[in-house]
Structure 1
């Protein structure tokens, strides 16, 4: 009892205020707040929470879409099968290889374009902003089909430009981007960079929110462009960089449309396009093994959750907010 009685005076000494009960106005505002967000809550429960819970139940069942009447309890056999399946590890390795290649490349290019468009020395910035953002508005499937022709080994203009430099021959000896397990990752990166406009706009908005007085003070102190970038721009832009890093990481781990449109479930070439979500879609909706597909979906969720947790856990060491106190 003495510990409980000493807690209140200690809290008062630390400046803590006792919690007051909510008044009638606060309760009324809270009810109206829940009323206005109720459509989102209902939508989340119906279209997100319930399917997530159902998929967890399905992962414990032997559930075939072609014969739902023969569904039976399978326990952890779907999880054990997923962890023992070589396709699971192949898809995980392919996803992480592409993540390691494309994630830093997309972050650097998006930030570089934002810095360029934020420059006071560049004219017609509105035109270039539209030019870089417009590809992200094109439907992804249409963009993939366009890039399939752009990277065609015989007629694609990328190979023709490379041939003009004398680095590689064109024609029948053109670079076969979609037949090499290494080059296909670069082809995916080209397609991804084409739609990088959204990340660029977010970075540009963050850059325009940095006070110009800080740059002026840095210039007075003799700081050059690189020093201003390191000491002013990147620290103040770190919350925006962190936001893009989390969103892009989650999106890349769920990479699906581009490899599926180009190669379907074949995994060509040599399993390089068999990403996590491609493997899940094949098992669940092509083969109809919904129980096993649900287990794969939860494995994807765990991978995404672990990576997101790591990013949030390490953010305290490099993300700086303008309102935080040392």
Structure 2
């Protein structure tokens, strides 16, 4: 848990007008600032920010609060996520309350798995955009599906090369540990060898509500029938397939604003609809909708429209 001292320091340091200014265009209005509501469509600004009182008020929806509550409303962060976001923004070291050795080890393990997943996301993206094979195979596939370069970058799509250990070797050379490559499922390790799980696949990173990479989906471009068309990351302490929704990070603001969530089957369904302007769309990644996924949507809306084939 985050220490009380860290929370107090965040509240003392964070400026509500600076935090909100990262998301809303604010203009000076006397002692206050005003802007268009980020929670409703309006032409006349009704969103007010008071630097003196360090509060905000959205008169179009009745919502209001401080810098932390704005992040919880706008970015749909949990309270700890909002505190950590502000700590990063203001370069405040996050102190944790005393944990047992087992709790500390588990927390360190989770963070190491997040870091190696983010490295993999960047590696797959770099291969897609900066290598000849990535452009010829992965990028051409996405463009043939009709995805624009902007959309490809928005969803952080990538390509995993055919080489047996391209990702694994690069990660180890950058001092990432094989233990966490294996625990995230990025590397398959057995008694005689190790190899990249997703080799030769176009890659779809799966994000949490706050944007961290939890796992991956990979689609083969091979016509061999023995090869599974889609492959997902295995279950881990950071990735539980029944608790995540593909596209939730990109869609969360529109879902809340439109008060409705469109649910589709696959990754490319999400991306195609998003690109066509339907941005409040997520996928259950081929599984039946679970209670945990429903709870995730209910943080944003109580309305779900199912668009399955």
TM category (shorter chain) comes to under 0.3
Higher strand share: 2
Higher relative contact order (CA 8 A, sep 6+): 1
Higher helix share: 1
